[in-house]
Structure 1
Amino acid sequence: MLLASLNPAAVAGGADIGDAVRIDGAVLSRSDLVGAATSVAERVAGAGRVAVLATPTVATVLAVTGCLIAGVPVVPVPADVGTAERRHILTDSGAQAWLGDQPAETEGLPHVPVRVHARSWHRYAEPPADAPALIIYTSGTTGAPKGVVVSRAAIAADIDALAEAWQWSPDDTLVHGLPLYHVHGLVLGLLGSLRIGNRFVHTGKPTPEGYAAAGGSLYFGVPTVWSRVADDRASAWALASARLLVSGSAPLPVPVFDKLVAVTGHRPIERYGSTESLITVSTRVDGERRPGWVGLPVAGVQTRLVDESGGDVVHDGETIGRLQVQGPTLFDGYLNRPDATAEVLGADGWYRTGDVAVIDGDGMHRIVGRESVDLIKTGGFRVGAGEIETALLGHPGVREAAVVGLPDDDLGQRIVAFIVGDADRDALINYVAQELSIHKRPREVRIVDALPRNAMGKVLKKELAQ
């Protein structure tokens, strides 16, 4: 069952927790959660798909949980989504109603409020494992957002694999302040906690002070969050008593990794995945946590690197290849888009991630980045943008860095670095040339006030390239 720890029998058998969920100033016990979510299930049972405005509130928690109990697929909608994108998500998904918090614009759909204090103890049969649980829309960087259909079985397999890798248990208190419409915050944070049976604390905004006050044993954050924590020594010190710090959704800069070690005593866990594959690679609690590397395939998952002609790429820790993954965590396809599905999901069951990576002889993975923006082909060399960014971040005058390849008549692509900080451009170019091979140096450095990022902290490199 997807929500293995969330059932009346478990609660009646003594598995109740008085503060199972803390969010938006409210506290739910395990029995509160079961009773209120089952009441929601009674109101939506039989629906095809339901949209949930994914605000960090009790209403969102109960809406998502109630739908999963009833076997109704959830379409999480970002709270800050624009009008055109919201309309596309609702139309494309075929959502029949809004559930939970009411959006400012309903787009003509009925709204079903969540009754936080209602209780029901009706027993629902577990839906089929291959039934869709979530339809999560991608960011739409290559056209209109696509609906990623994620099954109950894929979510369960991924959470169980991560529980094994991270020694995640009901004794943990998981803390994060991330959005509840992406894999990181929703699938791992909320649904992971409901399946494992641990306490779940959502801090609202992911501030260092909020993390420090939460008293967690297991923390999730994106690199921007961890950078801010590392710069707040008092808050960082409060995390020293935690068991595990986990970073994802974007590469964790090596200087931030090192600073977290210095101020918290923890070497953070790094992991890799996508909406389409969930989390497929991670460092382990009982294994090596190497800065800049995301670890080994989780249980049940296989990975491979291929070159441009489809041949295998050597695992030498240096040679870059296209990353493909296979396993029980993969999505079922893009909703209404068999053409787009066929482009990335082969008949052989391998998902073409669009990312490029290197794998060393021990199976450790380092993600170079997106093939479209992070693999730079310059002067006959294949260069990963991430390696240059890491070098730049080692300079004392650089606070943030993003590297892209721009068209160049002579080189094919020239390496251009966008920098937030206070440093001489020529000095930075020479610094990288000394730290790395000379062909990896930026040919141009641009100083900017800020880098464009999405809600999960990823740098929007296509905006920089344009």
Structure 2
Amino acid sequence: MSALFPPMFPALAAPTDRPALRCGPDSLSYEELARAAGALAARLAGVRRVAVWAVPTARTAVAVVAALLAGVPAVPLNPRSGERELAHILGDSAPDAVLAGPADELPAALGALPRIDVELGGGRDGVPSPPGDVDPESTALIVYTSGTTGPPKGVLLSRRAVAASLDALAEAWAWTSEDVLVHGLPLFHVHGLVLGVLGPLRRGGEVRHLGAFTPEGVARELGAGGTVLFGVPTMYHRLADALPDDPALVKALSGARLLVSGSAALPVHDHERIAAATGRTVVERYGMSETLMNTSVRPGGPPRPGTVGTPLPGVEVRLVEEDGSVLAGSDGETVGEVQVRGPNLFSGYLNRPEATAEAFDGGTAGGWFRTGDMAVREGDGTIRLVGRKATDLIKSGGYKIGAGEIENALLDHPGVREAAVTGEPDPDLGERIVAWVVPADPADPPADAELADHVARLLAPHKRPRSVRLLDALPRNDLGKVLKKRLPRG
């Protein structure tokens, strides 16, 4: 590989029969992965950019690895995207071809693109040499945001950013080639694809993708040699629900080296249930498409439910007031916007120079990135997220209140299964706190006053909900994040 930038996957440079990837019925050793990805990479010569139909199969992993080996930016496509969103992404990214499994049925929107079938068998030549020096700033992936504030934006992730973030996690988590990662996350997103597939392959370890998440699949794979589990809060909630009646799952989680949750805050109640049943603490980390990973709780340290730890090696994090002043203290109470700087940052938004400039303090990519997340810093330097600036920072009665801590308090009530908190205009308070609750027993939901008193007792009187609204379920995206903008109006 190039002297300018080390290989993204050292284990593919001299591949062995060591297991690399398993997904459903398909398994590949490093030698088999090198042949399959190498053969596909050779077919990508002269291609400017490719889309990848990112279904949860081994072929998606081979496609992305091949694109990285060929130095061709890959655009992972969510197979559940609607017609309008998919058309926007294709028009914005303008890929030259789409990579997909031979049996994959593609939507009509992809019909005009040349299709390159991804095969798991390959030639005998192994990994190709890259086309000249590999520039660390060249784009590896273009990952599209969820589009909650407008059409999805294409996040340009360089080879430098991907490598730096994965290596920082390896240092923080003692992640090595001996680890076997288990997960069932979507493969069109940073969590499932970059961390969950590229991470193990960069370390020379093994990834076992469940195809679709189930507690039974987790128990099976962790019980058969898995050492690390990646999941989102919805998954850990289901695991916590299953633990009392599943001794095999208890044993499997108890034996794992590392349990990691991300993409949204894991409720404290689920932390406590898993720890009580297994003796293991779930480690939370914090990142986003534009920054990859920023912070993490360190394994082996004291349990810190509700926090996302301290900055990863090489990453700087600061909290900033609305007037732009940087918060100097760590009082665990004062809320500021999280801003991040480091080699993990994206290069910009595709075709969106104005949006790129707006995203950085000072208007220049490479500086402090404005995440839009609100947090407090505890006395020991750990970060506790309290919500998004646009939807989760509630200004009520002169106080700045984070929705996240109220949600955790509500989830601590036995009558609450799910909870979300928002603010809405109030002529007296400025904003009043509204709790959206999915009751544990729909036939006998807790009374509004009971929930308000419960929150006031755990937190403070000014943080109690002024209105409680019952739902059958909270609207969520593919990664389990609650979509507050889709909550009913009025």
When normalised by structure 1's length, the TM-score is: 0.97
2:389 aligned with 1:385, yes or no?
no
What amino acid is the match of 1:300? G
Please list, as runs of the form range in 1=range in 2, the aligned pairs for 1:24-423 lying within 5 A after superposition: 24-101=24-101, 102=104, 103-105=106-108, 106-119=110-123, 120-121=125-126, 123-125=128-130, 127-215=134-222, 216-233=226-243, 234=246, 235-313=249-327, 314-346=329-361, 347=364, 349-421=367-439, 422-423=445-446
C-alpha deviations, 1:165-220, integer Å up to 9, x for none?
A: 11111001000000001111000010001101111000011111111101210000
Is the Cα contact below 8 Å between 2:70 and 2:128 reproduced in 1? no
Aligned residues of 2:38 and 2:122 also touching (Cα < 8 A): no
Q: Distance in 2 between matches of 1:341 and 1:8?
A: 36
The residue type equivalent to 2:359 in the other structure is V
Q: Aligned partners of 1:122, 1:218: CA distance in 2, in Å?
A: 28
How far, CA to CA, are the matches of 1:238 and 1:287 in structure 2? 21
Cα distance between partner residues in 2 of 1:461 and 1:429: 20
**Number of residues of Structure 1 aligned to a counterpart in Structure 2:** 461
- Distance change (3 Å), C-alpha of 1:45 and 1:308: same
* Structure 2: distance between partners of 1:43 and 1:198: 27
After superposition, the Cα gap between the structure-2 partners of 1:99 and 1:44, relative to the gap in structure 1 and judged at 3 Å, is: same
> 270-279 or 305-314: which moved more?
305-314
Question: SS state of the match for residue 79, structure 1?
Answer: coil
Deviation at 1:57, TM superposition (A): 1.0
Of residues 52-61 and 97-106 in structure 1, the stretch that sits farther from structure 2 once superposed is 97-106
- Which amino acid is the alignment partner of residue 396 of structure 1? P
CA deviation string 1:225-282 (max 9, x = no partner):
0011111122233221110100000000000001110122111110101100001010
SS in 1 for 2:211: coil
Post-superposition Cα deviations, 1:386-433, rounded to whole Å, max 9, x if no partner, equal 111111111110111100001222221110001111322221112112
Rounded to whole Å, the distance in 1 between the matches of 2:428 and 2:480 is: 34
SS at 1:90's partner residue? Answer: helix
- How far apart are 1:321 and its partner, in Å? 0.6
Deviations 1:109-160 (A, max 9, x none): 1111012212232531362211100000001011100000000110100000
Report Cα offsets for 1:79-117 as digits up to 9, x if no partner. Answer: 111011111111100111111234132141111101221
Q: Which amino acid aligns with 2:271?
A: F
Whole-Å separation in 2 of the counterparts to 1:93 and 1:57: 23
Q: CA deviation at 1:3?
A: 2.5
Q: Would the aligned equivalents of 1:323 and 1:354 in 2 still touch at CA under 8 Å?
A: yes
Q: Is the 8 A contact 1:289 1:295 kept in 2?
A: no
CA distance in 2, matches of 1:312, 1:42: 50
Q: Are the aligned partners of 2:145 and 2:289 in contact in 1 as well (CA < 8 Å)?
A: yes
Measured in 2, the distance between the counterparts of 1:368 and 1:332 equals 27
Q: Secondary structure at the match of 1:46?
A: coil
**Amino acid aligned to 1:74:** A
Match of 2:463 in 1: 440
Q: Secondary structure at the match of 2:487?
A: helix
**Equivalents in 2 of 1:257, 1:178: separation in Å?**
20
Q: SS at 2:303's partner residue? A: coil
Cα offset, 1:288, TM superposition: 3.3
Structure-1 separation of matches of 2:143 and 2:250 = 33
Range 93-102 or range 30-39, more displaced: 93-102
Runs of 4+ displaced beyond 4 Å? none
Q: Secondary structure at the match of 1:272?
A: strand
* 8 Å CA contact 2:12, 2:127 repeated in 1: no
Please tell me the root mean square deviation across aligned C-alpha atoms, in Å: 1.3
The one-letter amino acid of 2:346's match is F
Q: Which moved more, 1:283-292 or 1:326-335?
A: 283-292
Amino acid at match of 2:107: A
Structure 2: runs of 5 or more not aligned: 1-5, 440-444
CA contact (8 A) 1:406 1:465 kept: no
- Aligned amino acid, residue 16 of structure 1: D
Structure 1 Cα separation of the partners of residues 78 and 127 of structure 2 = 31
**Residues 315 and 107 from structure 1, CA distance in 2 versus in 1: closer, same or farther, beyond 3 angstroms?**
farther
Structure 1 pair 189–122 and aligned structure 2 pair: CA distance change class (3 A): closer
More displaced stretch, 134-143 vs 432-441:
432-441
Unaligned runs of 5+ in 1: none
The letter for the 2-side match of 1:359 is R
Residues of 2 paired with 1:123 and 1:56: CA distance? 25
Deviation at 1:369, TM superposition (A): 1.0
Q: 2:17 is aligned with what amino acid?
A: D
Secondary structure of 1:232's counterpart equals: helix
Write the letter of the residue equivalent to 1:222: V
Contact residue 2 and residue 155 of structure 1 kept, 8 A: no
